[in-house]
C-alpha cells in the first residue's frame, strides 16, 4: 500500500482535523449563505453555546441569547425604547442644586429656593423624598457626584462670591475637606466618586474658565484644561474616563469632549446646543437632558433628551417638563431628574421624572 500524500490533510485516517489539515481558500460558491430567518434547527456547535427552548425563558437577563424552536428564531434580551415617567416630588421647590446616586437611591443637594441659597438635602427611595442632614455651607451652582451614602460636593456660589469649599457625605453627616485650588460657581456636576473625582470648568471671579481639577480623596490637583472654555456644562463618568458636553461661553455651545485620564479630545457635538444641562451615565453610554437653549441670552428652556453611544448623540424621548439646573442621578438607562427651573426667569419646580429603558425579547434577523 502506498503512502498518503499531504494535500488537504494527512491525519484523517485517525484523530480530528486541526489547524494544519486545511490550507488555501475555500471558494465563496462553496459556502452556504442561509438567512437566519429560515433557520429550522441549530447546528451542533451552535447548540453548545445557544440554548434551544420551545418558548421564551420567563425571566432572561439582559444580553441572554436563545433559540426558540417553536418560532424558529434566534432571540435575545435587548433594550427597548426609553421614556420619562413621573416620580415623587421634592419637598422643597428649588433649582441650581446637584444630585448623586441612582434612580432609586438618590440625593438632591443644596441649590436656590425662596428666599435664597439653601443647605437642604433630600434623599430619594424610588418613591418619595425625605429631608436629611443639611450641608454645612448654603450654596447654589455647585458641582458634585457620588452615591446616596458616599457623596462629594464642591464649589458653587455663596452670597456675593464664588467658593472652593468641598464637603463629603458619609450617609449621616457632611464634613468640610480641602478646598478647590480655584474657587468657582456655575458648575453643574462632577465626575467620579467621593474619593476619586474630577471637576471641569465653571466661573471664577474673572469669568468662565477651562480649568480642570482632580480629587484623590485628600486634595485637589490641577490637570489638563478643557479645549473649549465654558461653564454650566454637563459632566458624567469617572475621574479617568469622563465626558463634558454643552455649556456656555459668549454663546451657548454643543461641544462634547472626552477625557482619558490625561487629556481632553473633541468628539461629536450634541444635536442641540444648551447650557445648564445635566446628564447621567458613563463615557461610552450617557444621557443628556434639559437645559437653556441659545443664543445668549437664552430665549427658552428645553425638555430635549439625547442619548450618547460613545460615538454620537441621538435624539430620544423628551422630558414632560422642560427645565434647567435640575439635580440628576442614575445611569443612561435608569436616570432621575429632580427640581430645576422651568423658565429663564428662574421659576422653580418640585417635579421629579424617572427615565427608564425597558428590556424586551427581540428576534435576531439575518440577511
181-237 pLDDT, tens digit per residue, is 999 999 999 999 999 999 999 998 888 889 999 999 999 999 999 999 999 999 999
C-alpha cell at 212: 480642570
115-139 pLDDT per residue, tens: 899 999 999 999 999 999 999 999 9
Q: If residue 237 lies in a helix (H) or strand (E), which one and from where to where?
A: strand 234-237
In this predicted structure, what is the pLDDT of residue 23? 56
Domain annotation covers residue 136: yes
In this predicted structure, what is the pLDDT of residue 4? 42
Domain annotation covers residue 131: yes
Query: Does 70 share its domain with 104?
Result: no
Calculate mean pLDDT across residues 152-179: 97
**Where are the strands (E) in 21-69, listed by range?**
51-53, 65-68
Instruction: Quote the pTM value.
Output: 0.81
User: CA of 65: how far to CAs of 41, 75, 208, 301, 365, in Å?
Assistant: 15, 6, 50, 42, 13
Count of domains forming the chain? 2
Query: Does 123 share its domain with 257?
Result: yes
* Backbone conformation region of residue 67, classed left if phi is above 0, alpha if psi is from -120 to 50, else beta: beta
Domain annotation covers residue 363: no
Query: Does 67 share its domain with 87?
Result: no
**Residue 43 confidence class, pLDDT cut points 50, 70, 90:** low
309-351 pLDDT per residue, tens: 999 999 999 999 999 999 999 999 999 999 999 998 889 999 9
Residue 16 has pLDDT above 70, yes or no: no
Query: Does 103 share its domain with 6?
Result: no
Domain annotation covers residue 365: no
Look up the domain containing 30 and give its range.
Answer: 1-79
* The domain boundary residue, chosen from 79, 94, 121: 79
* The domain boundary residue, chosen from 48, 79, 110: 79
In this predicted structure, what is the pLDDT of residue 74? 84
Q: What is the C-alpha radius of gyration for the chain, rounded to an integer number of angstroms?
A: 26
Of the listed ranges 84-98, 192-206, 285-299, 332-346, the one predicted with least confidence: 285-299
C-alpha to C-alpha distance for 179 and 199, rounded to whole angstroms: 12
**Residue 8 confidence class, pLDDT cut points 50, 70, 90:** very low
Amino acid at each position: 500500500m502506498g503512502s498518503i500524500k499531504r494535500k488537504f490533510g494527512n491525519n484523517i485516517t485517525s484523530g480530528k482535523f486541526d489547524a494544519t489539515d486545511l490550507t488555501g481558500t475555500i471558494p465563496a460558491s462553496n459556502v452556504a449563505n442561509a438567512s437566519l430567518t429560515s433557520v429550522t434547527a441549530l447546528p451542533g456547535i451552535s447548540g453548545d453555546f445557544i440554548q434551544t427552548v420551545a418558548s421564551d425563558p420567563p425571566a432572561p437577563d439582559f444580553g441572554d441569547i436563545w433559540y426558540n424552536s417553536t418560532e424558529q428564531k434566534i432571540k435575545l434580551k435587548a433594550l427597548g425604547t426609553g421614556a420619562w415617567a413621573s416620580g415623587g416630588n421634592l419637598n422643597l421647590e428649588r433649582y441650581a442644586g446637584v444630585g448623586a446616586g441612582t434612580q432609586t437611591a438618590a440625593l438632591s443637594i443644596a441649590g436656590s429656593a425662596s428666599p435664597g441659597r439653601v443647605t437642604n438635602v433630600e434623599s430619594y427611595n424610588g418613591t418619595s423624598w425625605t429631608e436629611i442632614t443639611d450641608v454645612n455651607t448654603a450654596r447654589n451652582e455647585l458641582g458634585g457626584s457620588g452615591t446616596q451614602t458616599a457623596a462629594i460636593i464642591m464649589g458653587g456660589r455663596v452670597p456675593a462670591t464664588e467658593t472652593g469649599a468641598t464637603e463629603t457625605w458619609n450617609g449621616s453627616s457632611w464634613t468640610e475637606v480641602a478646598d478647590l485650588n480655584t474657587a468657582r460657581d456655575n458648575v453643574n456636576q462632577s465626575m467620579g466618586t467621593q474619593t476619586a473625582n474630577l471637576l471641569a470648568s465653571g466661573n471664577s471671579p474673572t469669568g468662565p474658565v477651562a480649568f480642570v481639577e482632580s480629587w484623590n480623596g485628600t486634595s485637589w490637583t490641577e490637570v489638563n484644561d478643557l479645549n473649549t472654555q465654558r461653564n454650566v456644562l454637563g459632566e458624567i463618568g469617572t475621574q479617568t474616563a469622563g465626558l463634558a458636553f454643552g455649556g456656555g461661553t459668549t454663546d451657548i455651545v454643543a461641544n462634547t469632549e472626552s477625557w482619558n485620564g490625561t487629556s481632553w479630545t473633541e468628539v461629536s457635538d450634541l444635536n442641540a446646543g444648551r447650557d445648564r444641562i445635566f446628564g447621567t451615565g458613563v463615557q461610552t453610554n450617557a444621557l443628556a437632558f434639559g437645559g437653556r437653549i441659545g443664543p445668549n441670552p437664552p430665549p427658552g428652556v428645553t425638555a430635549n433628551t439625547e442619548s450618547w453611544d460613545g460615538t454620537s448623540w441621538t435624539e430620544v424621548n423628551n422630558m414632560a417638563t422642560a427645565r434647567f439646573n435640575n439635580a440628576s442621578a442614575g445611569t443612561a438607562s435608569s436616570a432621575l431628574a429632580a427640581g430645576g427651573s422651568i423658565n429663564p426667569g428662574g421659576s422653580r419646580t418640585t417635579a421629579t421624572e424617572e427615565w427608564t429603558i425597558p428590556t424586551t425579547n427581540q428576534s435576531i434577523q439575518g440577511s
